[in-house]
Amino acid sequence: MQKKVLVIKLGTAVITDKEGKIDQAVIKKIAAEVAVLSQSYHVVLVSSGAVGSGKSFFKNYKGSITERKAAAAVGNPMLIQLYHKYFSKYNITVAQALCERHHFSNRKQFLQLKETFHEFWQNDILPVVNENDLVSNIELKFSDNDELATLIAIGFDADTLIICTSAGGLLNNDKQVIPYVDKIDATILGFVNKEKSSVGLGGMLSKLTSTKLAASLGIRVVICGLGGTLPLGNALEGRAGSTFAPKSSNLKARQKWLASGSITIGGIAVDKGASKALHNRKSLLTVGIRKVNGNFVAGEVVQLLNEEGTIMGVAKARISSAEINQQIAHKNIIAAHADDIVIF
């Protein structure tokens, strides 16, 4: 029986101490538990902490984009060395996988990434993933590692995505962890503190945005902390953190890959007629397009927005944004084929 995929995202705040340095006791704890989970799952570890651990080497660090890139370049090898140190005790080799957005937006590159990860798992190698901050295009960066972990979970058709946070889960107004969430609605969003972590990029709102997308595509998501014994195992069994129920999804792997592109910089706003046609599984014609947001080329995945500005789905563009703007008045030009459209 083939193992299911488990994606574990570790936030900066949960693996660093008060001084921003990597907490080796936490890495040791993670290694011990992931070693056990690896017997039942193909595990992907998405680890923050590179910037947090590297920034102390810079004079008058202010957190600019250039400083963050440089700090990540210093911190990444330090981070992977620690993972190697503690996972090697369980005869698990770690591989550093530095990803960029184009590895996900380009189908061919994504399939190559997927094949490489399967090669890792066949040889008992644990992929430790982070963004390649040093060379990532500023406009095409992942918003944070919550987004990166979500894209991996969706693209790899993961069974579960665990997002580890210092909060220990989603808290209600009494600061108590909500153990189970059936649906992310206005009530759930009302519990969220809009502030981001002081050491990382993400906050709870970012985590819920990623969680909503993953759950809508059939992936169970658990937001939890790393306190107590066996925190990851307890999270998987619903005994710790906040579990978000997955929706039933019949999407094929390629469609899930398309859907993962819903976190993107490009978008196409459509009129009511086009919106109705898309819900009836028709292709998108340029005549139904009201506006194009951002710049994209043919083959890239873009958001589809209705007249209210709400994301209704995603599509692989058949022509570029420039070509759409040129052809917007023509009726029979296909901007996206029905087979390349996923409506949420």
Q: Give yes or no for residue 200 having a pLDDT over 50.
A: no
pLDDT, one tens digit per residue, over 145-193 is 888 899 899 889 899 999 999 889 999 999 999 999 998 888 888 888 6
Question: Which ranges of the chain would DSSP assign to H, the alpha helix?
Answer: 12-15, 24-37, 50-54, 65-87, 102-105, 107-122, 145-155, 186-189, 204-216, 231-236, 253-260, 272-279, 321-327
CA 139 to chain centre: 17
Contact 210, 163 (CB under 8 A): yes
Contact 5, 38 (CB under 8 A): no
Q: Give yes or no for residue 309 having a pLDDT over 70.
A: yes
Both tokens of 309, joined, read 């500005």
Contact 199, 44 (CB under 8 A): no
100: DSSP letter? -
CB contact set of 103 (below 8 Å; sequence gap of 6+) = 109, 110, 113
Q: If you average pLDDT over every residue of the chain, what do you get?
A: 86
pLDDT, one tens digit per residue, over 213-249 is 888 888 999 999 998 889 999 999 999 999 999 988 7
* Count of C-beta atoms within a 10 Å radius of residue 113: 20
Indicate the pLDDT class of residue 299, thresholds 50, 70 and 90: confident
Contact 44, 113 (CB under 8 A): no
Contact 128, 47 (CB under 8 A): yes
Q: Give yes or no for residue 286 having a pLDDT over 90.
A: yes
Contact 18, 55 (CB under 8 A): no
DSSP per residue over 194-257, as a string?
A: -PBPSSSS-BHHHHHHHHHHHHHTT-EEEEE---SSSHHHHHHTTSSSEEEPPPP----HHHHH
